[in-house]
Amino acid sequence: MTFLSPLLFVGIAVFVGYLSSMKADTKKVAIHDETGLFANEFKALNSKDGEYVYQDLSSIDIKSLKDSITKESYEGLLYIPKVTNDKDLENKIQFISNESPSISFIENVQDIIAKKLTKDNFEKAKLDTLAIKNAEAKVNISLAKASGEESLKGLNEIKIAIGGAFGYLIMMFIIIYGNMVMRSVIEEKTNRIVEIIISSVKPFQLMMGKIIGTSLAGLLQFFIWAIIGLTLMIAASAFLGIDASPVAKLPPTIIQNAHQEFTGTAQMYIKELWGLPIATILISFVIYFIGGYFLYSSFYASIGAAVDNETDSQQFLLPIIMPLILAVYIGFFTVINDPHGTIATVFSMIPLTSPIVMLMRIPFGVPWWQLAISIALLFGTFFFVVWFAAKIYRVGILMYGKKPTWKELYKWLKY
């Protein structure tokens, strides 16, 4: 699994990229336009690469059309009835189909009709459409830091994506490898081999060894994944000519438009990205990974020691998973809105959530003292938690047969 998982991931990414780069089947849409106003608007949209091909079938009787769309391979029938007042058109137009059309398609159609109607309305009112168009103001606020550098829009999203990716990774690793620690403790306990082992080493040593061992295994696996994944990704995009990145999904026109702006702004983005505290991000990722993982693994280890089988562990796992989920939510909802607000700051200090929340804040720039306090708190709590987890562990691994209650766990602390 160690080597296969990244292969699987890359395989899926390539597969998705391949699927999205495939041209969708052209869908035929019949138009029965009794007003004669819109058919040409739609026909003008027909192109070779378009997903939808519009056919003007206004000459055919609507009743027979309704019957035939099911038999013919039409996606649906856009029925624009004759009305006395154009105002009525706003509510009278129907799209008749057997399967519900996609929302984006309907919105698109509505947009086209609305635009045409608005334009006609302007003309009827004798307004100069060109003048109106020219009068429309487009505002584009550019962001700048107090230090004077110009910032770029969308950078916040990139920052939260980077921080979020690392934070999410930490959560995943804590859950996956924490569970591994727990399972291994339960295995040793149910195997009863634990009695032989702790007659050779102290329970504390066994627990710490397990936690450190799995965390190193986790880091190693992470690096293997990263390296294999990266290599495969590069190889796949080079050999197959498929760009697995989301850009492939954008329509060609947008890419073309973006291209002119891009050459200019791309350099700025790259400069801005390099300006991110990458070293800080990576170093704090490792620190928070170790701290957060150790902290949670101690919980997992003591839970493993307290119960006899995995089913019994659920009751104790919930309070552990809650702060992790909370941290991710805070990261994605609060940090992106207000990276230095009270909530984000407080939760990046609380040791149970700090590994995730702080990592999401770091790309936005965090003062050193906050980082220092957060890390100190994390490791301080870790030593405290290890101390009491070891107590539960020590008693728990030799207790068999019954599922302890919270009260009993508290009693074990005093043994």
Decide if residue 413 touches other proteins (CB under 8 A).
Answer: no
CB of 8 to other proteins, least distance (A): 24
| HSE-up of residue 48 (Cα within 13 Å, Cβ side) | 0
Q: Which is nearer to other proteins, 207 or 356 (CB)?
A: 207
CB of 358 to other proteins, least distance (A): 38
Residue 131-170 contact track with other proteins, rule CB under 8 A, x = bound? ----------------------------------------
Rounded-to-integer distance, Cα 224 and Cα 146, Å:
41
CA distances from 72 to 65, 69, 215, 315, 377 (A): 10, 5, 61, 58, 69
Q: Segment 376-405, which members bind other proteins (CB under 8 A)?
A: 394, 398, 400
Q: Are 198 and 390 in contact (CB under 8 A)?
A: no
Binding residues for other proteins, total number by CB under 8 A: 22
Q: Which is nearer to other proteins, 31 or 390 (CB)?
A: 390
Alpha helices in 22-154 (DSSP H): 39-43, 62-71, 89-92, 103-124, 129-135
Q: Are strands 94-96 and 27-33 parallel, antiparallel or unpaired?
A: unpaired
Rounded-to-integer distance, Cα 121 and Cα 86, Å:
9
Strand, coil or helix: 56 = strand
Residue 80-119 contact track with other proteins, rule CB under 8 A, x = bound? ----------------------------------------
Q: Segment 169-228, which members bind other proteins (CB under 8 A)?
A: 187-188, 190-203
Rounded-to-integer distance, Cα 365 and Cα 340, Å:
9
Q: Which is nearer to other proteins, 90 or 195 (CB)?
A: 195
Rounded-to-integer distance, Cα 53 and Cα 58, Å:
15
CB of 409 to other proteins, least distance (A): 12
Q: Which is nearer to other proteins, 209 or 246 (CB)?
A: 209
Q: Which is nearer to other proteins, 206 or 287 (CB)?
A: 206
CB of 394 to other proteins, least distance (A): 8
CA distances from 252 to 119, 248, 257, 413 (A): 28, 9, 9, 65
Decide if residue 411 touches other proteins (CB under 8 A).
Answer: yes
CB of 242 to other proteins, least distance (A): 40
Q: Which is nearer to other proteins, 87 or 202 (CB)?
A: 202
Q: What is the identity of the amino acid at 175? A: I
Can you give the binding site for other proteins, defined by CB under 8 A? Answer: 187-188, 190-203, 394, 398, 400, 411, 414-415
